[in-house]
């Protein structure tokens, strides 16, 4: 396979990943990393390095559009980013300690849990009491839906903050931007609407990825020839996805989120346990 053909394939895959990542808040890494390793034979660490660069591109592309449209909870994103950034630095320092096969299995387990939690969210959300801490931090907000503003209150701020630290560790360790865990924390734990969770995740993932991308670069895991088509593809897809979110149905988004995550989880776990990854 020539370099041009390889780059074109990587660009096309990354564009699809960016589109899905923009709609679901995953940042594209959830598709790019497994595809590069499982289908194209790229070493997992280099795939993670390229993915981190693409995550920054996704955040830059989609997040600006979501902020303008009023979906993103900027205050919540900036507050929770404190935990994810610290976690990302910790996770990046663990990459030379944890074996590649263990990384793949860990990634698969995280994906399975994420898919299950997304299907759990298809039902009605139980009413809970407002969190006084959310009120003090002014995290409660609203988002546009059917030409009107829908108010919501953020729940369990401390629990969500703790999970965000774990999401940051996963970002640095697995190179996925931790968008999956961010969405779960905000949607399932903190009670934020799914569209707000996905858009706020897109707003946050770029900072988290940047915190660990520098460490990957210093260790030589970011290859420009691979990172460039990945970044351009994901950026293209994320901008297209941002245009579709406002009219998309939440139930469809949840099912798409869970379906993609579940398939990739099974592949990563299988290849990690059988030695199918480098």
246 pLDDT band, cuts 50/70/90, is low
Element (H, E) at 239: helix 224-244
Buried b (16+ CB within 10 A) or exposed e, 50-86: bbbbbbbbbbebbbebbbeeebbbebbbebbbebbbb
Least confident of 94-103, 190-199, 237-246: 94-103
> pTM for the complete prediction?
0.69
- Average pLDDT of the chain is 79
Condensed to tens digits (0 to 9), the pLDDT of residues 6-32 reads: 889 999 988 888 787 777 766 666 678
Above 90 in pLDDT, residue 79? yes
Condensed to tens digits (0 to 9), the pLDDT of residues 158-184 reads: 999 998 888 778 767 765 556 667 877
Question: Both tokens of residue 52?
Answer: 């981190």
Question: Both tokens of residue 224?
Answer: 């420009």
Element (H, E) at 143: strand 141-145
For residue 138, what pLDDT is reported?
Answer: 92
Q: Give whichever of 77-81, 108-112, 207-211, 231-235 has the largest mean pLDDT.
A: 77-81
């Amino acid at each position: 396979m020539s370099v041009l053909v390889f780059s074109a394939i990587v660009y096309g895959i990354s564009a699809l990943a960016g589109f899905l990542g923009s709609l679901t808040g995953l940042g594209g890494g959830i598709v790019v990393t497994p595809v590069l390793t499982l289908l194209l034979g790229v070493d997992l660490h280099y795939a993670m390095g390229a993915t981190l660069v693409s995550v920054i591109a996704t955040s830059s592309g989609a997040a600006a559009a979501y902020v303008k449209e009023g979906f993103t909870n900027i205050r919540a994103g900036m507050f929770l980013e404190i935990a994810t950034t610290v976690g990302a630095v910790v996770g990046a320092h663990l990459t030379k300690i944890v074996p590649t096969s263990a990384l793949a299995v860990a990634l698969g387990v995280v994906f399975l849990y994420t898919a299950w939690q997304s299907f759990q969210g298809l039902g009605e959300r139980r009413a809970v009491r407002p969190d006084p801490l959310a009120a003090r931090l002014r995290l409660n907000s609203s988002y546009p839906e059917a030409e009107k503003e829908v108010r919501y209150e953020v729940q369990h701020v401390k629990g969500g903050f703790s999970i965000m630290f774990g999401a940051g560790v996963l970002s640095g360790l697995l190179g996925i931007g931790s968008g999956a865990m961010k969405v779960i924390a905000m949607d399932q734990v903190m009670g934020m609407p799914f569209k707000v969770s996905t858009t706020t995740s897109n707003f946050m993932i770029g900072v988290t990825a940047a915190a660990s991308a520098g460490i990957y670069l210093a260790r030589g895991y970011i290859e420009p020839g691979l990172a460039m088509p990945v970044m351009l593809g994901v950026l293209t897809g994320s901008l297209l996805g941002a245009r579709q979110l406002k009219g998309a149905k939440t139930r469809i988004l949840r099912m798409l989120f869970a379906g993609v995550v579940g398939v990739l989880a099974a592949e990563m776990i299988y290849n990690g346990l059988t030695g199918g990854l480098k």
